[in-house]
Amino acid sequence: MVPLEHVLVFSAILFSIGLYGVMARRSAVLILIAIELMLNAVAVNLVAFAAYVDPQQFSGMVFAVFVITIAAAELGLGLAIVLRVYRMRTSVNVDDLDMMRW
Amino acid sequence: MEYAWLAPVLCAGAFFFNVIISRQTPWKHRLSALVSIAAILGAFGVFLVVFSDALANLLGTAAAHGAAAAVDDRSRHLLFDDEPWFQVGRYAFQATLVVDWLSVMMLGVVSFLSALIQVYSIGYMRGDNRFWWFFSVMSLFSAAMLGLVLAGNFLLLYVFWELVGLCSFLLIGFWYQERDNAEAAKKAFVTTRIGDVGLFIGLALLFLQTGTFQMNEIFDAIAAGRIEPWVVTTAGILVFLGAVGKSGQFPLHVWLPDAMAGPTPVSALIHSATMVAAGVYLVGRAFPLFAASDVAMGFIATIGTITAIFAATIALTQRDIKKILAYSTISQLGYMIMALGVGAYTAGLFHMFTHAFFKALLFLCAGSVIHSMEPVLHGTGKSPNDVFWMGGLRRRMPVTFWTFVIASVSLAGIFPLSGFWSKDAILAGALAEGAWVPFIVGVVTAFLTAFYMFRAIYLTFFGEERWRFAAAVPPHAGLLVVAPTAASVPAAAGAMDVQTRRPGEDVPAHLEPEVRPALEEHAVPGHHAEPHESPWVMALPLVIIAIPAAIAGWIGIPGLFDPFAEAIRFGPAHEEALSPVVASVSVLVALAGIGLATVMYWRPIIRPDAIADSVPGAYRTLYNKYYFDEAYQWLINRVVLALAALAATIDRKVINNGIVDTPAGLTGAAGERLRYLETGRVYQYAFAFIVGIVLIGLIIVLFP
Amino acid sequence: MELGAILFYVVASATVVSALGVVVTRSVVYSALLLVLSLMLTGLVYLLLLADFLALVQILIYGGTVSVLLLFALMLTRPEQKPVLTHKGWPLAALGAVVVLVLLIYQAVSTDWARTATAVSAAAGARAGAVASRIGPGELGAALFTTWAVPFEIASLVLLVALMGALVIARASEEPR
């Protein structure tokens, strides 16, 4: 198997890409997609730790299950909100959604 | 003796029963009166048991050890001495009760008078719509007063001390619907509070020195010289300030005359016999503290002496019968304080004992008179307390009259009534201690006392029935020096606008044509009330109290039968024989006072207005009570309010604007600028978030 | 180099490339599809990391549900004109992401994972240096329904609530636009 560090680097790259997406994208749907990437990177990390560091209890895998669960819930809710916003503003552009500023 | 605590607890129980249960019932007035009186009678029963115990104790040990055995050791019992009341840090406080002859005596006086006065109140307060509340507070007062006299711990004493003050406040302002009464209650509360602050600081000082509030431990420490002399002096004077406030001593006396705004039974119980005597009691109770400091004793004697004569002179000119009695009370309290101050311990407390009865009786008689005058003077704008509108009540109210005379003669100190013995003891004590000024002041005060009491008697019970034409004199008809007569009234009033007059046979013939129509026109229909004797529920207590008022002093006849001096004394008992010189001097000056009052107010050989006219300044000064209220008002307006304004300015400008508003303004301004950071752009938030994470990560990496 | 390692590097590279595509493409649909691809590839990585069941779950949920959900959402929120999908400030975002990446890689490389593994095994009371074994659905299921039963139930509740919340929020509203 590959060294643990390589898996971690892989997950770090995925995470950073997701981070870039969250900050650089304007569409709410794309931001949600980028967040999925980040969550996914975290799940990879957890699975890697389960396999390399804690093979007896594999708690990391259980956590990965939970991460996937939460990610699904988050995506569902997020998209529902996006739909609602779109219906109110005909836009999913987060730049237009600045009602909650000063 | 172990059951002494029951007395205050019974009354407190009555109070709580009344305010919680009785008021909910449809017969709340009857029930609360019943419960209160039953409780105070129970307290009196407790007193009888304790008294017989103490007596048996005294006789038993006296037989065993001879009369010379130390009375303090065998008659003082401390209850709840060891059990902690509460604990703060390393200090434990005990709710100690002390049962000795002093507290047993007070127990008897308070429960006896309170019981009779509450019975009397049934008649006096009849028809008042807060009848039940009156009895509830009377019960609370009785509880507090009984607790006060039993307290063997200064902290406990202070609690009861404030509680009686509270009851006094509630009862002075009982008819608070009238603004004057509410003001009087407030004045009483605030003025006594000035003294109470002194008391509290004094007690705190003693606590700092000894670490305890237990009286006996503090006194032991003083006796053993464990407290520095200057502290004893300071604490003594401060503690005495409490007595000054409570007992209406100069210069904090101003609240007591105003306190007469309360119902008369309240004046009789609280403001003459018991609560105001609490100051004297405190001086007696804490006597070892004062006795250890010559300066404090001198201070006490000076204040008492000034008060005795000062209040007596004011009483000479007052028109309100209750105010005459109030100033008399102040004067007599000064007498007692003076006696204690010169070291005549037994005499001072003896006078407190006898005074309680006859002064309470005087007030109850005054209440009886006022009660019967009220319907008579109703609608005339005249106060029913004003002796100038009484007169001739002797035959109409014989019971009141005779009891009033007995009490007055007793107060004046005529042999052989009880006032004679106590007053004589004070004068003899002052003389024995070589205190000449108090002695002379005492003699002069005795003269003044006899004079003003008989002035009150003559104006109230003798002479013309002036209430018949009270309505004929318009209000504020100038300063009346002598009581108006039938002949003088229409002449004085005729020149002025006649407002309301009662049809009267006393209108002189030459004024008849012009006065008569006005009289007919303004006569109040069906208004023909005349003074009458009070109902038996009021008259009976008068008669009962008249007995101790006359003979209570007989337990202190020097040289013959003097258990009082044996039981209540400070240091070794010294039996003093009756001094014929002192006794005759005091009786003679009292008789002189009575005689002067007779020739001025009954058989007008000397006209009072002539005297007043010859010294108008002096008369006005006395009539206006030495302008003390005005001086205090000036002081409050000019000094207190100025200081308050200064404090308010500092509060507003420095504290509010500076310390409070400045940081608030800074926060607001900062928020006003920083709010634009909230752009509402999610990605900017995300970026800020990342910057934070990076910073934390760098910190972790760089400083592992 | 063994087969597993080679496979890992190939799959990982593909995942990274498709993930980059997700965040840079100018079409939202491509972005969504690339995301699905990227996630399915991650599922393969799970397989290589001995997590069979998880790989299955990943492919089922993301390949099945999430892709459908995303495509529906995109379909329902179609803007009138072709939008600009990326901010003008994207270089700053890229810089931030790179810095974070550097930090993460530094931490991942500099940590002594072998010691951590020993410590974890010691804490778990197991012998150190245990050989990793394949975790199948049976083992994971047993763990989920014994040790992790309560969190598992809570997670199911969260899902239920999220489902209802999504329904309530996304339901066609009566108020005027």
Q: If you measure CA to CA, which chain C residue comes closest to B697?
A: C103
* Structure confidence at residue B494 (pLDDT): 44
Of B488 and B602, more confident: B602
Query: Quick one: pLDDT at residue B513?
Result: 47
Using a CB-CB cut-off of 8 Å, the residues of chain B touching A25 are 683
Domain that holds residue B469: 384-623
| B656 Cα to chain A: minimum distance (Å) | 29
* pLDDT, tens only, A30-72: 888 999 999 999 999 999 888 888 777 788 888 998 998 888 8
pLDDT value for B489: 57
pLDDT at residue number B483: 63
pTM (two decimals) = 0.68
Render pLDDT for B289-300 as a digit per residue (tens, 0 to 9).
888 888 999 999
What is the distance of C-alpha A85 from the center of its chain? 21
Q: List pLDDT tens digits, range B644-680.
A: 999 999 998 888 888 888 999 999 999 888 888 888 7
- pLDDT at residue B514, as a whole number: 47
- B496 and B541 in a single domain? The answer is yes
User: Are B518 and B561 found together in one domain?
Assistant: yes
**Residue A93: DSSP 8-state:** B
Pairwise CA distance, residues A100 & B253, whole Å: 69
Tell whether the model's pLDDT for residue B526 goes beyond 70: no
Out of C51, C57, C126, the one facing A51 most closely (by C-beta) is C51
| pLDDT over threshold 70, residue B500 | no
Nearest to C100 among B690, B700, B701 (CB): B690
Model ipTM value: 0.89
Residue whose tokens read 């010559």? B294
- Quick check: C51 and A47 in contact, CB under 8 A? yes
Chains that touch B (3 or more CB pairs under 8 A): A, C
| pLDDT-derived band at B477, boundaries 50, 70, 90 | low
Q: Residues of B with CB below 8 A from C107's CB?
A: 697, 700-701
Does residue B647 form part of some domain? Answer: yes
Residue of A nearest to C32 (CA): A33
Residues 85-114 of C with CB under 8 A from B: 87, 89, 92-93, 96-97, 99-100, 103-104, 106-107
Residue-level pLDDT at C130: 55
CA neighbor of C2 nearest in space, from B704, B238, A2: A2
B606 and B656, same domain (yes or no): no
Domain match, B538 and B677 both: no
User: How much is the CA Rg of chain C, to the nearest whole Å?
Assistant: 21
Q: Are residues B638 and B504 in the same domain?
A: no
Question: HSE (CB half, 13 Å, CA atoms) of B226?
Answer: 13
Residue B418 within a domain: yes
pLDDT-derived band at C52, boundaries 50, 70, 90: confident
Q: How confident is the model at residue B511 (pLDDT cuts 50, 70, 90)?
A: very low
Residue of A nearest to C92 (CA): A24
Domain boundary residue, one of B590, B623, B656: B623
Domain boundary among B580, B600, B623: B623
Q: Does residue B432 sit in the same domain as residue B554?
A: yes
**Count of CB atoms situated within 10 Å of the CB of B512:** 11
- Tell me the average pLDDT across B218-222: 87
- Tens digit of pLDDT for each residue in B125-172? 888 888 889 999 999 999 999 999 998 889 999 999 999 999 999 999
Q: For residue B535, give every residue at least 6 positions away whose Cβ sits within 8 Å of its Cβ, in sequence order, or none.
A: B123
Of C48, C85, C170, the CB nearest to A25: C85
Q: What is the tens place of the pLDDT at every residue in B409-433? A: 999 888 888 888 888 888 888 888 8
Q: Are residues B446 and B588 in the same domain?
A: yes
pLDDT at B487: 59
| Whether residue B585 sits in one domain with residue B507 | yes
Candidates A12, A14, A76; nearest CB to C15: A14
CA distance B411 to C105: 106
Please identify, among B601, B623, B645, the residue that sits at the C-terminal boundary of a domain. B623
- Whether residues B578 and B695 fall in one domain: no
Q: Are residues B661 and B688 in the same domain?
A: yes
Q: Inform me whether the pLDDT recorded for B520 exceeds 80.
A: no
Is A4-89 assigned to CATH 3.40.50.20?
no
Rounded CA separation C55/A68 (Å)? 11
Report domain extents, chain C: 3-85+135-174, 86-133
Domains of chain B: total: 2
Q: What is the pLDDT of residues C101-143, one digit of tens each?
A: 998 898 888 888 888 888 877 777 665 555 567 777 888 888 8
One domain for residues B639 and B618: no
Closest residue of B to C100, CA-based? B694
Residue B49 domain-assigned? no
Q: Which residue among C100, C130, C147 sits closest to A19, beta carbon to beta carbon?
A: C100
pLDDT value for C34: 92
- pLDDT-based confidence at residue B506 (cuts at 50, 70, 90): very low
Inter-chain touch C98–A81, beta carbons under 8 Å: no
Neighbour tally for B651: CB within 10 Å? 12
The stretches of B343-397 forming alpha helices (DSSP H) are 345-377
Residues B590 and B618 in one domain: yes
Q: Which residue has the higher pLDDT, B696 or B515?
A: B696
Considering the domain boundaries, does residue B570 fall inside one?
yes
Q: What's the whole-number average pLDDT of chain B?
A: 83
**Of the listed ranges A20-29, B48-57, C127-136, the one predicted with least confidence:** C127-136
